[in-house]
Chain A
Amino acid sequence: MRERLESLRTEALQEIQSATEMELIKDLKVKYLGKKGELTAVLRGMGSLSAEERPVIGGLANEVRAALETAFAQKSESLETAELEAKLQSETIDVTLPGASLEPGSIHPLHSVIEQIEDIFIGMGFEIAEGPEVELDHYNFEMLNLPKDHPARDMQDSFYITPEILLRTHTSSVQGRTLLAKEGEVPVRIIMPGKVYRRDDDDATHSHQFTQIEGLVVDRGVSMGELKGVLLQLIQKMFGPDTEVRLRPSYFPFTEPSVEVDIYHPEKGWLEILGAGMVHPRVLEKAGYDSERYTGFAFGLGVERVAMLKYDIDDIRHLYNNDLRFLRQFKSV
């Protein structure tokens, strides 16, 4: 009986080993381990054994069963793996064929820049204010310490509609409106993005319509040091933390002292990027703020200039031509 068990084990293991399909494994399972299987048949003959032999043979029989079961399990697994592999192999696709078209559109680069700058300032506790593009001379000039006949009005030749109504020449016009609306409240921390218009012939560096972001902070004890700090934040976030910045004294009728801010471009040298300054006391007074108690700073930046520098755009007209071959380059910005 022992011999039979041993030869059964050898024979079965051999057959399992050489099986190449799952079907055959199933058949072999029935053949050896099934109710009418060979091992079962051997075990049925146990009754004829002596009391000493029975546990020995019984033990051996269990050992053989365990060996066969392990072999079946291993073989099934390897066959299944092989079958899966073959299936996967046959299902291979060409991954280099183009994807289904879910092409995203593109943001206009100027709006991308505006959103980025808005987010930087929102992070610093600023609100975003807006005002009309068709504006009263009063807000565009007078409130900003630019009375009629002021020589600085020449710096911004304007599109007038009537003698008192014009297309705003800068977003600084929103300053007066916002300050009046705040009725002397502080702190004032706003930025004012928007379209502005000047009588310029459209060429590579001029556009009769362009975009500005004006900024204004009014509070107790606001200093030029803070103006520098805030502008540095803006520039380093927009152009990288190592960007070199230079401040030059300048002149705007609505700020005093006034500043022109340059950044250093490795190829083009120093480039003017924005104008700024401490809010002129007359501007504060006109808007109902006591210029002894409160100080403030303001800045104005040309969005086109930032976009052109950031994305290396050589002609401002690209930003208004709306050629899709240009616009689609800004899908990821």
Chain B
Amino acid sequence: MLVSYDWISEYVDLTGITPEMIAEELNRTGIEVEVIYTRDNGVSHVVVGHVLSVEKHPEADKLNITQVDVGSSEPLQIVCGAANVAAGQLVPVAIKGATLPGGMKIKDTKLRGVASRGMICSAKELGIPDKFLTEHQKQGILVLGPDAGIGQDIKEYLGMNDQVVELELTPNRSDCLSMMGVAYELSAIFNRELRLPEWKEAVSSTERSQVEITTDLEEDCPFYAVQVVKGIQVGPSPQWLQNRLISAGIRPINNVVDVTNYVMVETGQPLHAFDLQTISTGEIVVRRSRAGETVVTLDGVTRALDDETLLITDGEQILGLAGVMGGESSEVRSQTTTVLLESAYFDPILIRRASRKLGLRSEASNRFEKGIDPERILPALSRAVQLLQEVAGAQVGSGVIVERSGEIEEVTVTLRHDRLMKVLGTSISQEQVLDIFHRLNFSVHVDETKNYHVQVPTRRPDIQLEVDLIEEVARIYGYDRIPTTLPWGQQQPGRLTDSQRLRRKLRHLLIDLGLSEVLTYSLTSSKRGKEVDSLTPSTGLVRLAMPMSSEHAVLRTTLLPELVQTAAYNVKHGNEDLSIFEMGRVYVTQEKKLTELPEERTELAFLLTGDFRSARWNRQAVQGGDFYVAKGIVQAIFERIGVANVEIQAANHHEGFHPGRTAELIYNGEVMGVLGEMHPQLAKQHDLKDTIMVQLDLDRLQQAIQADVRYQAIPRFPAVTRDLALVVDKNVEAGVLEAGIHEVAGELLESVRLFDVFIGSQVGEGKMSIAYSLVYRAADRTLTDAEVTATHSKVVEHLQTTLGAVLRS
């Protein structure tokens, strides 16, 4: 809402109150002020001139030499290039010393040898935005109306000294979509006197009502009023009216339309003018549209309608979309002489739906959909008739014809004084409360129990409950005056849940291990979403009904494709060594079309490429693209959170992963994670070198946590360490060897540690040398050499027979 300071000053005494003060106090009491600006655009020393004569420039076809009277002792000779300049016009003239928007300065000069003492300006040169200009005014110099005074400052004539305060209104404060509403507000916050005019119904003694009104559904249109205005001469509005509309951000069109807009801004009541001649039946029928009907609106667009758009018709033809936009056929034209002025109340929800469905937001629909003040329907109509008489030579063509159902309800809301103090947490006196209601212009009656019975004015439909009154009191009283206290009542300890703790632990573990956390979008493209298999299969992707782009059209089912994308981006920007992780949700569903919410599973994913720990200057770097580095990180996670008994099995069927370098992490027969090298094809697509990807399902990980930690006695007897170096077939898995060792050595074996793996010609084709260090220990005695040797030999023997292992000499 744009509020002209000049205009608003008419309705409330603002003596000594600047626009800046208005902005500050509105902000403080609940209406945000976006900006304050003056409409002058930096113009100075531009005056109204009277073009006395126009002659062709002898040296230039397109230039004219004009003599212009600017009110000084003699006319100025000005060379003008505009094609539309003509003797007799009143025009804006930038005289010597003038400044125009953009800082341009005007001096006396010579054009093609002819002296020119100033410049005749176009609207654009005065900085008037195109949106306020007619097609006509966009071309050539600006021709002013006959009411301009020769020598008058153009800023005064065009209202450019006016300051505009731009309000950012929340949807509940539609009452401030009018000058009168803003006046009430300013009167309350500054405690200043209101000066609202009262308009009397214009009565016609001779004319009888010519129009019959029917409304199909009372609740769609409980109040519909019209009045005929005749003898109109359609033409431009006087400048003062145009100036105010421009301050309000509305383009002047012609006096009839301008008056309806003016009254809408003034009162908040949208009005519409139909050319009465186009209403052939002499009746108005308000009804809902039927599916398949079409209408051509004022903007020339043909619109197809559904079955719940409210229409104004003449019983046969559609005249317009109620509350949204008029129809082209009933539009006021230059030859129009008689109009039917409409002022009504339409169901806000219907208007809102229609305007949304049609994609048509108008100043009128914006007001109707929030609910207008029914008390202003008739005054606004009278005001418009009065203005049309003033500016369009109109006469009253009929009395006011009203079709309404029921009376306007009086709303009384009760506020309890003690409740007010309790909710605000402060003490406030009855006098203060009454003063606030008085300033707000609310009628109030206090009973003996200190309850305020407030009669809520119809202009404030947002006030329905006691809390609404509490807010009114609080905002005028001042939020800053409410004391600050701390809670309160019964205390309880705050804490993280187990799963929140787990996520924090994992986050900080991975960061401490050298990985950086990233945060990617949940919405992805359906193509990218398929690059890597999700851990939990999803039958369908969760798709947005109306995505903004195909890049963000479906919800992800795995975090990894986004990490791949992130890696590719960073590598491209010179960060080749990356170790990144993310924790977040993935969204899976077993439905093709959602009828229930999808399942949201929290996952952890990480990706390593390039060096994991960048090279120390005298040693080698740890390669991030190494499967075993990633596996080490997974094992660190398990140890840090207390997960044991996870099986790691080779897996060759995961999309996006290398079939020979991928493992599943299995707990209790369920896959809780996948760890592996990125498939070389996927790596190539993203210009990545060796890259390892890991994804873990956190809910399953959490189930694998063994929360019970119990102290085990520290061994009192010494251990015996024996090494075991074997040559086996290359495809024997280390896991199988280790399992064999454990199986045979039994309880005496404390630990097995792999310390060397070697594949090469020295050990034979297809063979591998593998060496373990075995630690034997008994809890209750010192083991003898013989005991250890016996067990160790059994281990060797077992591996020889079951796996064809050969002891290395």
Contact = CB atoms under 8 A, between A and B. Distances in A.
B479 A249 contact: yes
A127 B497 CA distance: 8
B62 interface: no
Interface string A116-146: 0010011111111010111110000000000
A289 B746 CA distance: 62
A248 to B, nearest CB: 6
Nearest to B583: A111
B566 interface: yes
Interface in A166-182: 167
Interface stretch (A35-43, A47-55, A148-156): A148-156
A278 B489 contact: no
**B: interface residue count bin:** 35 or more
Contacts, number: 253
Contact of A122 (B32, B494, B516, B570): B494
Nearest to A155: B171
Contact of A230 (B424, B486, B617, B621): B486
A160 B545 contact: yes
Interface string A47-72: 00000000000000000000000000
Given A105-B579, A324-B578, A223 B496 contact: no
Interface stretch (B469-477, B683-691, B785-793): B469-477
**A: interface residue count bin:** 35 or more
Nearest to B555: A134
B487 A226 contact: yes
B349 interface: yes
Interface string A183-226: 00011010000010101010000001100000001011111111
A248 B575 contact: no
B34 to A, nearest CB: 12
Most buried by A among B29, B475, B569, B614: B475
Contact of B475 (A167, A257, A320, A323): A257
A151 B171 contact: yes
A4 B497 CA distance: 89
B600 interface: yes
Contacts of B547: 159
Nearest to B350: A149
A126 B471 contact: no
B500 interface: yes
A251 B614 contact: no
A135 B597 contact: yes
B545 A278 contact: no
A98 interface: yes
B494 A189 contact: yes
Given A124-B487, A125-B492, A229-B487, A256 B542 contact: no
A300 interface: no
Contacts of B475: 249, 257
B110 to A, nearest CB: 49
A286 interface: no
A152 to B, nearest CB: 5
B519 A107 contact: no
Given A125-B491, A322-B569, A152 B516 contact: no
Contact of B523 (A208, A258, A325, A327): A208
Nearest to B571: A324
Nearest to A319: B519
A150 B172 CA distance: 10
A249 B474 contact: yes
A222 B494 contact: no
Interface string B473-503: 0110001101111111111111111001000
Interface in A311-333: 319-325, 327-328
13 contacts: A105-B510, A107-B508, A107-B517, A121-B494, A125-B492, A195-B522, A208-B548, A228-B479, A230-B486, A249-B30, A257-B475, A280-B467, A320-B521
| Top-10 shortest CB links A-B | A225-B425, A223-B425, A249-B30, A257-B471, A251-B170, A249-B475, A122-B494, A151-B171, A247-B479, A105-B516
